[in-house]
Amino acid sequence: MPPLTARAFWVTGPEQAEIREQPLPLPSGDELLVRALCSGISRGTEVLVYRNRVPVSEYARMRCPFQEGAFPAPVKYGYSWVGEVTEGPERLRGTSVFVLHPHQDWAVVPAAAALPVPGAVPPSRAILAANMETALNTLWDGQVQAGDRVCVLGAGVVGLMLAHLASRIPAVRCLIIDPDAGKEAAAAALGLTFCTAPPADLFDVVFHASGNPAGLATALALADFEATVIEASWYGVTPVTLPLGEGFHAKRLTLRSSQVGAVSPRQRARLSHRQRLEMALALLADDRLDGLITGESAFAELPQVMARLADGSLPALCHRIRY
């Protein structure tokens, strides 16, 4: 007998959250009933939502699939969810699927919204799919070519994935920078060159993914003549000041934002959002990526976990929630 209710994580106010019980509809037509296995916390964006730091101008654009409520709160938010299909088409029953769904123990979703997890990817790692999709789209926006000198500022999950993807392009020399020396082990596990301070070298493509406004100024300083700087960080309501009076004009730099809500122009004519996400899932077939998941907690503990992520007392790359 399918459950009649589900438990879901809700942000109820600035730095306030709770687990709520809500009715669960019966699946019909092409819908699936899915039991959660695990979900991932997309730390940068979800902490901004938890802090009620989403700009009013972005309320509509920031909505995620299956979101309930509205910004700033109460709102049910999240998009890195993996579960097992218990009811639905025979071909999908018993399979693990990835869904861009908030943190919840059971869900009813359209079959079209559920992507089967590839056999080479454990469900416990598939929670990284949304982050990999962001990294892939950001790489396309940077238009990295063979032989380029590439720098990534910020060794969070997206930054590490981005450097991981860029380093696989022939003859690319890739450096990842983060002032936190504790992240060197995660970088080394992916075979990446890591440092804690900017070098004297200059680069053809610089990706900024630190989430710190000061890092964007560093990115501009590291860019060589006619280089491209890709801004992958999102600051919410935090203002950002840039030193555009230094070498920015003389070096003829290109500064471009990257956001996963739209497929990169380079691939938009060929790939749909679903195809891009399928590609991201396939790219997770690498055991080394398990090193990006640095902690795990039970679903019931999620309100306390989010509070600790927000205040910095729980250092983590991707934190996994188990159900």
Domain chopping of the chain, boundaries:
5-128+284-322, 133-257
pLDDT tens for residues 268-299? Answer: 999 999 999 999 999 999 999 999 999 999 99
pLDDT tens for residues 92-148? Answer: 999 999 999 999 999 999 999 999 999 999 999 999 999 999 999 999 999 999 999
Looking at the predicted structure, is the pLDDT value of residue 2 above 80? no
Q: How many other C-beta atoms lie within 10 A of the C-beta of residue 199?
A: 11
| Residue found by looking up tokens 């999240």 in the block | 78
From CA 151, how far away is CA 245, in angstroms rounded? 22
- The pLDDT value given to residue 37: 98
Token pair listed for 130: 């949304």
- The pLDDT value given to residue 245: 87
Q: Calculate the alpha carbon distances from 97 to 58, 163, 186, 211, 279 in Å.
A: 29, 27, 27, 30, 14
pLDDT tens for residues 162-197? Answer: 999 999 999 999 999 999 999 999 999 999 999 999
Q: Which pLDDT band holds residue 67 (cuts at 50, 70, 90)?
A: very high
Architecture, CATH, for domain 133-257: 3-Layer(aba) Sandwich (3.40)
Topology annotation, domain 5-128+284-322: Quinone Oxidoreductase; Chain A, domain 1 (3.90.180)
| Residue found by looking up tokens 């950002």 in the block | 240
Closest alpha carbon to 166 in 130, 202, 200, 204 = 204
CB 220 within 8 A of CB 229: yes
